[in-house]
Amino acid sequence: MQILPAHCPPEIIAEIFFRALPDDPQQPISVDAAPILLTGVCRQWRAIALSSPRLWNVFSIADSTSWSDRSVESFCKTVDAWLLLSGVLPISCHLVLRDLRSSSRLMDILCCHAPRWKSITIESVMGHVFSPLSVVSFPFLETLSFTSDFGPYSRIHTLLACVRSAAPRLRSMAIYWQPRFIELALPWLNLTHLIVKAHDYYSQLVFDMAQFLVNAGQCRNLILLVVHIWSCSEWIYPTFRITIPRLRELSLDVPTSLMLDSILRALILPELQHLELHGGQSMQAPPLHTVLVDFFSPCASSITSVTLRYADIPDEELMRVLKNLPNLTSLSLTRTGFTAALFCPTHSSVF
């Protein structure tokens, strides 16, 4: 069966196939979607699709826990063949590892192609043991994201140690924190996006915020920093100030307002545009509005949006803080207790 005109060059057909790929890069591999679907139309399409690496170097692997054993086995073989079809191109993958029947095998397959990693996102069940790597270089790696906690016995620490000196293009990293990570000398200078989370799985976690900020201070090109700490047994407070000159977006979610206060007092962010704060209560912490006045001082003209969650600030004090932000265009207040008063007509002159 001939679908396209016989004179249509294969490279044109390959380009059409490329543009027919799913718009969402996280759409899971499926026999009912391109590129696999294209291989079943006719022999010409199959030959062109199988010889076009661009169709196979970006993919997503979904959770297979509801599948039969036979389907899981077949799918692992499909992923193995898929990666071979991508040739030598850099690969981008979103991988969900919740099925114990396939997780180790899929990671082994992916790790065989580690030198070609470009953008890798891995979601895992807690405690999954990350496959060992013998890779000495990640020349294409730009984004590395672990959106679940791998547990204290995984080999994530080993992987990140490899990345330290072997990923010159790494710009974006998201990790679940483990105490050993503080020892890592990551390529801080190159990073533009850094997301760090600590799960309450580590009930005895000691979070060394002082050392973390020393590392963050090396990120001269960082534009986004997210720190979400659910709980920790000990918090090592910074006693110095750190400037991150290009940071534009900061999100902090920590257990107590005292911890939040310690971070805000340590940071100098002259180009900050977006701020999101969420800190629990602490009787020992100074009022939040006092630290915000100093914190906003170097970035008052650049701030455009502020989000406060569970922040205890008196109405009048909050309005005094906001009054000094001339370019503020977005304000979000969640369970703060002063939203109604803030927008009362009697206060309109403050803005």
Residues 267-310 have pLDDT tens digits of 999 999 999 999 776 666 678 888 999 999 999 999 999 999 87
Whole-number pLDDT of residue 183: 65
Q: How confident is the model over 70-92, as a mean pLDDT?
A: 93
Amino acid at site 47: A
Better-scored residue on pLDDT, 56 or 155: 56
Whole-number pLDDT of residue 192: 95
Q: Domains (ranges, CATH) in the chain? A: 1-55 (no CATH), 58-127+140-161 (no CATH), 171-337 (3.80.10)
- Contact between 150 and 121 under an 8 Å Cβ cutoff? The reply is no
**What are the phi and psi torsion angles at 338 (to 5°)?**
-130, 10
Whole-Å CA distances, 36 to 1, 20, 40, 79, 320: 18, 11, 7, 12, 59
Per-residue pLDDT at 101 exceeds 70: yes
Whole-number pLDDT of residue 345: 45
Whole-number pLDDT of residue 199: 66
State the Cα angle at 64 between 60 and 67, rounded to 5°: 140
Whole-number pLDDT of residue 100: 80
User: What is the rounded distance in angstroms from the CA atom of residue 117 to the CA atom of residue 119?
Assistant: 6
Q: How confident is the model over 98-119, as a mean pLDDT?
A: 87
Residue at token pair 């710009």: 171
Q: What is the tens place of the pLDDT at every residue in 126-183?
A: 555 566 666 668 899 999 988 765 555 566 666 776 676 688 899 999 887 766 666 6
- Contact between 170 and 139 under an 8 Å Cβ cutoff? The reply is no
Whole-number pLDDT of residue 58: 93
| Range with the poorest average pLDDT among 35-44, 55-64, 99-108, 339-348 | 339-348
- Contact between 228 and 253 under an 8 Å Cβ cutoff? The reply is yes
Per-residue pLDDT at 240 exceeds 60: yes
Q: Compute how many other C-beta atoms are within 10 angstroms of the C-beta atom of residue 242.
A: 19
Per-residue pLDDT at 347 exceeds 50: no
Q: How confident is the model over 70-87, as a mean pLDDT?
A: 92
Per-residue pLDDT at 63 exceeds 80: yes
User: What is the rounded distance in angstroms from the CA atom of residue 330 to the CA atom of residue 313?
Assistant: 18
- Contact between 185 and 213 under an 8 Å Cβ cutoff? The reply is no
Q: How confident is the model over 1-11, as a mean pLDDT?
A: 68
- Contact between 162 and 191 under an 8 Å Cβ cutoff? The reply is no
Whole-number pLDDT of residue 348: 39
User: What is the rounded distance in angstroms from the CA atom of residue 80 to the CA atom of residue 135?
Assistant: 19
Mean pLDDT rounded to a whole number for the chain: 82
Q: How confident is the model over 20-41, as a mean pLDDT?
A: 84
User: What is the rounded distance in angstroms from the CA atom of residue 143 to the CA atom of residue 260?
Assistant: 28
21: its two tokens: 């790929």
Per-residue pLDDT at 219 exceeds 80: yes
Better-scored residue on pLDDT, 9 or 207: 9
Better-scored residue on pLDDT, 123 or 73: 73
